[in-house]
Amino acid sequence: MISQQLIEVRSYRIWEQQGHPHGRHLDHWFQAETELRSAIVVEAEPTRPRKAAAKEAAPADKKTSTVSEAVEKPAKRTTKRKSTKG
């Protein structure tokens, strides 16, 4: 279970990163809770044996592996591009 204090800290950091918007506290809270839950799931996944040394040489997308990293890392913003065809 994720502690309320961890969620508070992460949601506060999200609020700061977004420029202190007014009235978005629930959005920040739910985003923080989701990020922290994702970090726990990634942390709980069993490790898989490595197949080849070549795979080790190639950088992999790293997800947040611990709850403390999720709290410390800023949230990534994703933007959708609008299609220029039309």
For the chain (length 86 residues), average pLDDT per consecutive 10? Answer: 91 95 95 92 71 51 53 56 58
Closest by CA position to 6, among listed 65, 72, 55: 72
3-state DSSP assignment of residue 48:
coil
Q: Look at residue 19 in the predicted model and tell me its pLDDT.
A: 95
Amino acid at 9: V
Token digits of residue 5: 């204090």
CA distance 43 to 53: 23
Token pair 């709980």 in the structure block, residue: 44
Indicate the pTM of the whole model.
0.51
